[in-house]
Amino acid sequence: MDTKRISIIAASSVAAAGVIFSAVSLFTKKFKGSKSPDVTKRMKIMTKDLTLTDDQVTKVRPIVEAHSKEMDTINLIHKNNQEGTDKVIKAQAASFEKDISAILTPSQSTKFQHTLDKKQTKQPANTHDVKAK
């Protein structure tokens, strides 16, 4: 290859990297905390409400972080196509509940389930149908 081709390839690579970095930055800003509760806030609430031990907090945090990321991904994938979203979200929620409950004591698990039940009764049956203004 001659110098001109190498220069063109290098310039194109730098430009492409810039575009990708910008897209990732915009995506991160747009979805950070907008679709799912802040992990730190959620952990504080769960620790207080369920009186989690330090060991439980250590085990629960990665599950909450993974759940938050998965929900962001689900929302992104289904942004323009809500068909099937409810099934995916319900499956993710069931997995999350199962993983968390496995770490909790029976008493904590009951409190956790009660909190989830209260949350579900407050939400409309289908939160994804948004009417255009």
Per-residue confidence (pLDDT) for residue 118, from 0 to 100? 85
Tell me how far apart the alpha carbons of residues 40 and 47 are, in angstroms, rounded to a whole number. 10
User: Would you say residue 12 has pLDDT above 90?
Assistant: no
In Å, the largest CA–CA distance within the chain is 72
- What is the domain range of residue 21? 1-31
User: Would you say residue 100 has pLDDT above 80?
Assistant: yes
Per-residue confidence (pLDDT) for residue 5, from 0 to 100? 81
Tell me how far apart the alpha carbons of residues 113 and 82 are, in angstroms, rounded to a whole number. 27
Q: Is 11 domain-assigned?
A: yes
User: Would you say residue 31 has pLDDT above 90?
Assistant: no
What tens digit of pLDDT does each residue of 41-97 get?
Answer: 999 999 999 999 999 999 999 999 999 888 888 888 777 777 777 788 888 889 999
C-beta neighbour count of 60 within 10 angstroms: 20
Q: Is 59 domain-assigned?
A: yes
Same domain, 17 and 38: no
**Alpha-carbon radius of gyration of the chain:** 21
Total domain count, the chain: 2
Q: Is 12 domain-assigned?
A: yes
Q: Is 128 domain-assigned?
A: no
Same domain, 51 and 106: yes
Same domain, 107 and 44: yes
Q: Is 132 domain-assigned?
A: no
In terms of Cα–Cα distance, which of 26, 110, 96 is closest to 68? 96
Same domain, 76 and 14: no
Same domain, 9 and 69: no
Same domain, 11 and 45: no
Same domain, 5 and 56: no
Q: How confident is the model at residue 21 (pLDDT cuts 50, 70, 90)?
A: low
State mean pLDDT over 121-126. 63
Same domain, 24 and 49: no
Same domain, 25 and 71: no
